[in-house]
């Protein structure tokens, strides 16, 4: 059951690095509502979990005595618990982290290449947000063929200034803009796999560390009939093509003559994130207006709520994933509460609703 706001949160940190365990414990303990325990490997962690089940597990993937993927499978089979992966950014680590998400992990945070202690202190906001987000996740048991063996906003103005309403007559076709966070990797896979090759351009912000977004896009590209790739500055929006904002960079949609292109920019955290859904949605409201569809999916916090309000005010159709199909209902719930949402539907219905909205727009 997701944690109720105000409750104490028990977090178990599993990492073979004593430095990482110490620093993460120090950071997490700055919040008095967080109780932290640690373990040097999954075997020790499992014994602690049996005695005192945690609310959230933070784990590395490459550890002695048991690898992280096996550990996650064990957790999801026997003691379903929200898992946050803390992984390195090497190519192999990236692939393992994406597989961990497929196995049931709900968040990925990254380790630095150097200076672990400094990195974690600078990323305290991200770490704490990831933990509280994971604590709200609806985690369900994932049966396996055989069980693994234990023996083995004002800031938004700085990034995307407010603009006048777009000159709609200049635009060719429409755009689907999507924002997601916790649970979003699976939600996006389902959504994008349902889109046909002739769908309007899709632009996506998924809260995810840098480097991971490229591997994530490549994996989706293999599974979907449309093209999916990590966005680069100046990329043109094209039919049957989805662009995912690179980790740690904001993505905006802008006009270039009669074309729509993306801008990839640095800037402060907006709504506690970079990339920010608010930044993307605001730019789409300004550049595309009523020819856009905005979609807010599963995730913790309120990133995207203000931006979706701006899209709706600009005449766009706005859609939110419903609570029953969300891993975390925070982001859709906040957008709904602010009156930003036209349609609330299950995940598996979103692609059809977005395409139907675009078809109706094409007739106007």
Give per-residue pLDDT as tens, 94-113.
888 888 999 999 998 876 44
- At residue 350's C-alpha, the angle toward residues 349 and 354, to 5°, is 125
* 165 and 259 together in one domain: yes
Bridge partners of residue 176, in order along the sequence: 202, 293
- The C-alpha atoms of residue 4 and residue 176 are separated, in whole angstroms, by 33
* 214 and 128 together in one domain: no
Q: What is the dihedral of CA 51, 52, 55, 58, to 10 degrees?
A: -60
Q: Which residues are catalytic?
A: 181, 207, 303
* 342 and 219 together in one domain: yes
Q: Is the pLDDT of residue 240 over 80?
A: yes
Is residue 232 situated within a structural domain? yes
Give per-residue pLDDT as tens, 146-168.
444 444 454 555 565 554 444 33
β-strand pairing of 317-321 with 343-345: parallel
pLDDT of residue 153: 54
- The C-alpha atoms of residue 243 and residue 220 are separated, in whole angstroms, by 11
Cβ proximity of 49 and 14 under 8 Å: no
* 111 and 208 together in one domain: no
Three-state SS at 85? strand
- The C-alpha atoms of residue 227 and residue 229 are separated, in whole angstroms, by 7
Bridge partners of residue 254, in order along the sequence: 261
In this prediction the pTM is 0.84
Give per-residue pLDDT as tens, 171-219.
346 999 999 999 999 999 999 999 999 999 999 999 998 889 999 999 9
Residue 119: CATH number of its domain = 3.40.50.2300
pLDDT of residue 279: 97
364 pLDDT band (50/70/90 cuts)?
low
* 92 and 219 together in one domain: no
A 10 A CB-CB count for 254 gives: 16
What DSSP line would sit under 163-191, residue for residue?
-PPP-GGG--S-EEEEEE-TTHHHHHHHH
Q: Is the pLDDT of residue 2 over 70?
A: no
* 130 and 179 together in one domain: no
Number of domains in the chain: 2
Last residue of a domain, one of 70, 101, 135: 135
* 173 and 293 together in one domain: yes
Residue 218: CATH number of its domain = 3.40.50.180
Give per-residue pLDDT as tens, 40-49.
999 999 999 9
* 214 and 93 together in one domain: no
According to DSSP, residue 40 is labeled: S
A 10 A CB-CB count for 96 gives: 19
Q: Is the pLDDT of residue 276 over 50?
A: yes
38 pLDDT band (50/70/90 cuts)?
very high
Is residue 144 situated within a structural domain? no
355: enclosing H helix or E strand: helix 347-363
Q: What percent of the chain has pLDDT over 90?
A: 66
- The C-alpha atoms of residue 55 and residue 57 are separated, in whole angstroms, by 7
* 54 and 127 together in one domain: yes
pLDDT of residue 188: 98
Reading the block at residue 220, the tokens are 């989706």
Tokens 């995940």 sit on residue: 347
Three-state SS at 337? helix
Domain hosting residue 203, numbered range = 155-363
* 130 and 270 together in one domain: no
* 170 and 302 together in one domain: yes
Reading the block at residue 275, the tokens are 């990339």
Q: What are phi and psi of 253, to 5 degrees?
A: -105, 135
Is residue 148 situated within a structural domain? no
pLDDT of residue 322: 98
More confident residue, 298 or 149: 298
pLDDT of residue 170: 36
* 160 and 128 together in one domain: no
pLDDT of residue 168: 36
93 pLDDT band (50/70/90 cuts)?
low
pLDDT of residue 147: 42
β-strand pairing of 227-230 with 241-244: parallel
Q: What percent of the chain has pLDDT over 70?
A: 84
Residues 6+ apart with CB under 8 A from 331: 179, 180, 181, 277, 296, 297, 298, 299, 300, 301, 302, 303, 304, 305
Q: Is the pLDDT of residue 288 over 70?
A: yes
Strands across the sheet with 83-87, in order? 34-39, 9-14, 56-59, 83-87, 107-110
User: In this predicted structure, which of 5-9, 40-44, 271-275, 311-315 has the lowest mean pLDDT?
Assistant: 5-9
More confident residue, 81 or 163: 81
Q: Is the pLDDT of residue 145 over 50?
A: no
């Amino acid at each position: 059951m997701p944690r109720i706001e105000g409750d104490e949160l028990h977090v178990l940190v599993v990492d073979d690095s004593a430095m990482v365990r110490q620093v993460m414990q120090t950071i997490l303990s700055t919040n008095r509502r967080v109780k932290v325990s640690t373990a040097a490997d999954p075997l020790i962690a499992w014994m602690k979990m049996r005695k005192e089940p945690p609310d959230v597990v933070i784990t590395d993937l490459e550890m002695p005595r048991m690898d992280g993927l096996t550990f996650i499978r064990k957790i999801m089979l026997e003691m379903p618990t929200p898992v946050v992966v803390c992984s390195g950014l090497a190519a192999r680590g990236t692939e393992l982290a994406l597989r961990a998400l497929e196995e049931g992990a709900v968040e990925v945070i990254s380790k630095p290449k150097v200076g672990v202690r400094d990195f974690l202190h600078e990323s305290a906001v991200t770490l704490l947000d990831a933990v509280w987000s994971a604590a709200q996740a609806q985690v369900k048991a994932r049966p396996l063929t055989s069980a693994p063996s234990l023996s083995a906003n004002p800031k938004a103005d700085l990034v995307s200034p407010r603009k006048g309403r777009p000159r709609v007559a200049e635009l060719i076709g429409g755009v689907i803009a999507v924002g997601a966070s916790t649970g979003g990797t699976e939600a996006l896979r389902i959504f994008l796999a349902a889109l046909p090759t002739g769908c309007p351009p899709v632009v996506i912000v998924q809260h995810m560390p840098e480097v991971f977004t490229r591997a994530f896009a490549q994996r989706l590209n293999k599974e979907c009939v449309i093209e999916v790739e990590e966005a680069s500055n100046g990329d043109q929006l094209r039919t049957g093509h989805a662009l995912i904002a690179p980790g740690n960079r904001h993505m905006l949609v802008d006009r270039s003559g009669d074309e729509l292109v993306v801008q990839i920019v640095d800037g402060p955290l907006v709504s506690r994130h970079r990339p920010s859904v608010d930044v993307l949605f605001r730019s789409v409201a300004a550049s595309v207006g009523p020819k856009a569809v905005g979609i807010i999916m599963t995730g913790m916090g309120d990133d995207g709520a203000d931006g979706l309000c701006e899209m709706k005010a600009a005449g766009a159709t706005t859609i939110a994933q419903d609570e029953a199909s969300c891993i975390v209902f925070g982001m859709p719930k906040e957008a709904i509460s602010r009156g930003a949402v036209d349609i609330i539907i299950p995940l598996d219905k979103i692609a059809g609703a977005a395409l139907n909205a675009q078809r109706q727009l094409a007739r106007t």
